[in-house]
Amino acid sequence: MTQILRFVLAAALVLPTSVATGQEPDAKQVAQERKEAELDAPKLADVLGLKPGMTVADVGAGLGAMTIVLAKSLQSGQVFATDIGKRQLTVIRDYVKREGLANVTVIEGAAESTNLPASCCDAIFLRLVYHHVVAAKAFNSSLTAALKPGGRLAIIDSVAIPGSKLPAGVPANRGGHGVPAAVVIDEMKAAGLTHVRTIEKWPPGENAPGFLVLFEK
């Protein structure tokens, strides 16, 4: 599967259909997501400046592939995995147990809050999640509160495909099923974070419509 197709599918669905409908995820699907996470996690870790002993949060972790890969590379650190879907949370907990990881904490999030502890994280990231946030002001405040001073936040998302349907409840300025990088920057700056840089194509080196916006507290 090409990187372009992966981003288009993710932007259209955000979470795999099997998870959204409560079905068991297909083994091939899980393996594919793990393979992609193995490739992308080192790039993301570099952008976030992750080092041994640090704590990072995967907000909107879905099936948990990125959580697992990062937890394995940060065994002296801690990884939080959050999601608002009970089925997703069950899948992640089972995944963590199978992998024998003791450094992952799974948290049920909410529409207006990550529910992460205050000042818990050296870094936080959201992958194709932000365009579904319906209460941006409150949610972004919780993101800022969860970061330590100097902590970094990466928002990975994609612009809306022309004519795509706006997800229920999100602001109209998203322009469809996605979000412009400029909107992300404005809203996170309003939450008290500093814009560090924008990577127009993510993952780097790929011909993908995704972007990464990096912030610092």
List pLDDT tens digits, range 161-213. Answer: 999 999 999 999 999 999 999 999 999 999 999 999 999 999 887 677 799 99
| pTM: predicted TM-score of the whole model, two decimal places | 0.88
User: What's residue 31's pLDDT?
Assistant: 86
Q: Largest Cα–Cα distance of the chain, in whole Å?
A: 46
Sheet holding 121-127, edge to edge: 104-108, 78-83, 55-59, 121-127, 147-158, 210-216, 194-199
Peptide bond into 203 cis (omega under 30): yes
Q: What domains sit in the chain, N to C, each tagged with a CATH number?
A: 3-9+27-216 (3.40.50.150)
User: What's residue 203's pLDDT?
Assistant: 87
Asked if the model's pLDDT at residue 12 lies above 50, the reply is no
Confidence of residue 13 (pLDDT cuts 50, 70, 90): very low
List pLDDT tens digits, range 21-51. Answer: 445 666 787 788 899 999 999 999 999 999 9
Mean pLDDT lowest among 6-15, 61-70, 84-93: 6-15
| Cα→Cα distances 185→81, 97, 113, 211, 214, Å | 24, 37, 19, 12, 9
User: What's residue 110's pLDDT?
Assistant: 97
Length of the chain: 217
User: What's residue 1's pLDDT?
Assistant: 37
192: left (phi over 0), alpha (psi -120 to 50) or beta: left
Confidence of residue 69 (pLDDT cuts 50, 70, 90): very high
CA dihedral over 24, 26, 78, 102, signed as positive or negative = positive
20-42 burial: b if 16+ Cβ within 10 Å, else e: eeeeebeeeebeebbebbeebbe
User: What's residue 27's pLDDT?
Assistant: 76
List pLDDT tens digits, range 127-141. Answer: 999 999 999 999 999
List pLDDT tens digits, range 111-126. Answer: 999 999 999 999 999 9
Higher pLDDT pick, 144 / 16: 144
